[in-house]
Chains A and B, each alone.
Chain A
Amino acid sequence: MGILALLKRFIFGWFSRRDSIRLGLYGPPNAGKTTLANKICVDWLGEEMGQVSRIPHETREIQIKEQIKLEHKGKTLQFNLVDTPGIATKIDFEDFIKAGLPEKEAKKRAKEATKGVIDAIKWLDEMDAVIVVLDSTKDPYNQVNITILGNLAARNIPVLIAANKTDLKKANVKKVQAAFPQYPVIGISAKYGKNIDNFYSSLFKLVK
């Protein structure tokens, strides 16, 4: 990150951080970013943010919900929530066909997904704080996770790791914590709202 960008972040942060924090949701595909975005939006705006699917790369464009006002234990936090497409190093349209999509649609989805990954990476510089959503049933040492976290650290962006899908038997939050001991990690089930109050508490600690 260049000195100018750091300066911009400092000045931007100094004058506007309290009014319009840009909170990003990052992670690999199908980790539950949009499910978590929907949970936050339903809880505090009364409406969902985007569509979710079992087929990876359902979110292929940056989605923003503005002016979310979160109240927790007498405190208020206002932010713009940015849901980003899942970051991946490979996209194969044949995987979408296997998941049940017709060939034409699978190819279209793959093309849009590649653009989505590029946009998600471009938007890293625009974030004030980030929730990295990981699937706690999967290997946390995946290079995509490490690259995302490394890039956020290089930009001095505060990070909270949400180890999602704790409702599943295979979930292993401790493994996520052991992989990334330098970050706060909170186990949640965005789908069922499990541990969501502690998640909101952690969110306050992250940005306040």
Chain B
Amino acid sequence: MVMLQIVPYEEIMALSSVGRIRKLLNLAKEDKIVLLQGRLKKEEEAELIKATMEEINEDFKGIELAVINPTIENLTGLKRFKNRVINALLGNRTGFTVIGPANIVKQIKKDPNKIELLTSEKTNQKNKRNKRRNNKKR
């Protein structure tokens, strides 16, 4: 079973950059696919990658990350400018960010208006491995 956790922008709005990254990464480490309303700042995306690397071990292989932003890509001129001002003042709420644990999400394919999550069989392998470990302990 794949669990999808929706995170509204309001839930991360008041958090510091470190807090945002921690929250999203913790959800991914709980084997949940995170669907965040809006997007992180560019610098926060890089920090998220850094934080992910610090936590990689035999069970946590990292994340798959994708940002889909259909509205802004279609905007032009004044509307685009207006959107940027709103984003600067209130945070970037347009589009979605998908963060999936790499042991579940093998690849994220996207085009401007849709995303495809290719899931992995490794979750089952991991469950089997855990079962084997538990049996050995008994």
Q: Is the interface of B mostly helix, strand, loop or mixed?
A: mixed
> In whole angstroms, what is the CA distance A115 to B52 when docked?
11
Q: Report the bound CA distance from A107 to B61 in whole Å.
A: 12
Contact at B46–A114, with CB atoms within 8 Å?
no
Whole-angstrom distance between the alpha carbons of A91 and B109 in the complex?
A: 19
State the total of A-B contacts with C-beta under 8 angstroms: 70
Q: Decide yes or no whether B43 CB sits under 8 A from chain A.
A: yes
Q: Within residues 105 to 131 of chain A, which ones have a CB less than 8 A from any CB in chain B?
A: 107, 110, 114-115, 117-118, 121-122, 124
- 1/0 contact trace for A39-83 toward B, CB 8 Å? 000000000000000000000000000000000000000000000
Task: Please tell me if B6 contacts chain A, counting CB pairs below 8 Å.
Answer: no
Q: Nearest-CB distance from B52 to chain A (Å)? A: 6
Instruction: Say which size band chain B's interface belongs to.
Output: 20 to 34
For the A-B complex with A88-B49, A154-B41 known, give 14 more contacts whose Cβ atoms are closer than 8 Å: A87-B49, A89-B49, A89-B62, A89-B65, A91-B61, A93-B58, A110-B56, A114-B53, A114-B54, A114-B56, A143-B67, A144-B65, A147-B45, A151-B42
20 pairs of residues in contact across A and B, judged by CB atoms under 8 Å: A89-B52, A90-B62, A91-B53, A91-B62, A93-B58, A114-B56, A115-B53, A118-B50, A121-B47, A121-B50, A143-B65, A143-B66, A147-B45, A147-B46, A147-B65, A151-B46, A153-B42, A154-B41, A154-B42, A154-B43
